[in-house]
Amino acid sequence: MHFNLVFEGGGAKGAVFVGAMREFERQGHTYGRLLGTSAGAITATLLAAGFSAHEILAQVNEKLPDGSPRFSTFMDVADSISDTDWENSVLFKLFKQVDWPLVPESIEGRMDNFVIGQLTQMKVYRLLFTFLELGGLYAGQAFLEWLREKLDLDGRNLRQATLAEFYEHTGTDLNMVASNITHGGILVLNHRTAPDCPVAWAVRMSMSIPFIWQEVRWQQAWGTYHGRDITGHAIVDGGLNSNFPIRLLISRSPDVIAVMGPHDGTFALGLLIDETKPVTDSGFGTASMDPERAWEMKNLPIVRRVSSLVNTMTNGYDKIIIDAYKDGVCRLPAQGYETTDFDMSDARIAALVTAGEQAMRDFFLTFKL
């Protein structure tokens, strides 16, 4: 059978899509339009670039020379803080108000520069700065380079491709969702709405989970979005608006057609990550937090609370559509897996992939078109 596919956001839990697609391909099904948010946007992009589920799994299992997962590098602290970011920050303005006791004003400027220089050399300070001033703990540059590398793999030459060039090269209708927090709206990024936006940056915007990765500022070189200039707007994870945007593939309303084009009549199959469904042999409940990682800001109660609030809001918006379209949604197990588990063991990855495979197999046993 032939389907349009939509993939939910879920960070590292997105590895479950690999198993689901492995079974999907094994059964001989094919896909047309691809749509995703965050981790779903990554999966959709790799599929659109011609990767099979087996090839994607090889990338998920990629290791560094020391044996650690390549994915663990996605939690990359910024190497430096630019002069522009520092000078435009609230921290800079507060710092300049500090009056050094008994220090002549002519010397204060040099002392300020010295102290600033020392602070920015500290990894923990850069982590705090980007969290407070740039919207996220991690730079996201390692992910961007990883994706560009994959888009060039085996002669694909799509590293710098725009959405229009990508569509022309692959013929696949790729769509991903991001959120414009400057304007307060949803962005549906594809060759119709943002033809000049690079594919790699579109994915990077879609996966920018607030407080985890730095927000992305829309660049003038990326052209307009749906005919509107949004240069300088802050763009983050699409999950803020819709973590499971299946409405974009099933609705025939004018607002959807405006960004997606006419409905093509193909059945939409949704791949939903379900944290309530257990994963066999995942080791859930047996491990405790590594004490050396307990200090990380992502583990602070405030960050976890905000993340839970965001999840609640987005899940509430999507739940209405999910309930109405339940026969077209394949629920993939992910209990015990965290969004930021990019350093999970091979065994845990294998368990998640196998669970996705089984869930897709079970879905097609009862599915009727």
pLDDT digits (tens, 9 = 90+) for 343-362: 889 999 999 999 999 999 99
Q: What is the mean pLDDT of the chain?
A: 87
Identify which of 334, 365, 363, 361 has the alpha carbon closest to the alpha carbon of residue 25.
361
Secondary structure (3-state) at 4: strand
What does the block give as tokens for 15? Answer: 């590895």
What does the block give as tokens for 156? Answer: 């694909």
Share of the chain above pLDDT 90, in %: 59
The beta-carbon contacts of 88-95 under 8 Å, at least 24 apart in sequence, are 89/129, 89/133, 90/132, 90/133, 91/129, 91/132, 91/133
Residue 257 in this model has a pLDDT that exceeds 90: yes
Q: Is residue 11 within 8 Å of residue 340, measured between CB atoms?
A: yes
More confident residue, 139 or 321: 139
pLDDT of residue 288: 46
pLDDT of residue 55: 97
What does the block give as tokens for 254? Answer: 């004018």
Q: What is the largest CA-CA distance in the chain?
A: 80
- Dist. CA 216–CA 134, nearest whole Å: 9
- The DSSP secondary-structure symbol of 278 reads -
Q: Which helix (H) or strand (E) holds 332?
A: strand 329-333
Average confidence (pLDDT) over 174-190: 95
Residue 287 in this model has a pLDDT that exceeds 80: no
More confident residue, 142 or 289: 142
Torsion-angle region of 34 (φ positive above 0: left; ψ -120 to 50: alpha; else: beta): beta
Q: For residue 360, which amino acid is it?
A: M
Average confidence (pLDDT) over 320-348: 88
Burial of 363 (0-12, 13-18, 19+ CB in 10 A): buried
pLDDT digits (tens, 9 = 90+) for 16-47: 999 999 999 999 999 999 999 999 999 999 99
Question: Lowest-pLDDT range, 8-17, 43-52, 128-137, 222-231?
Answer: 128-137
pLDDT of residue 310: 54
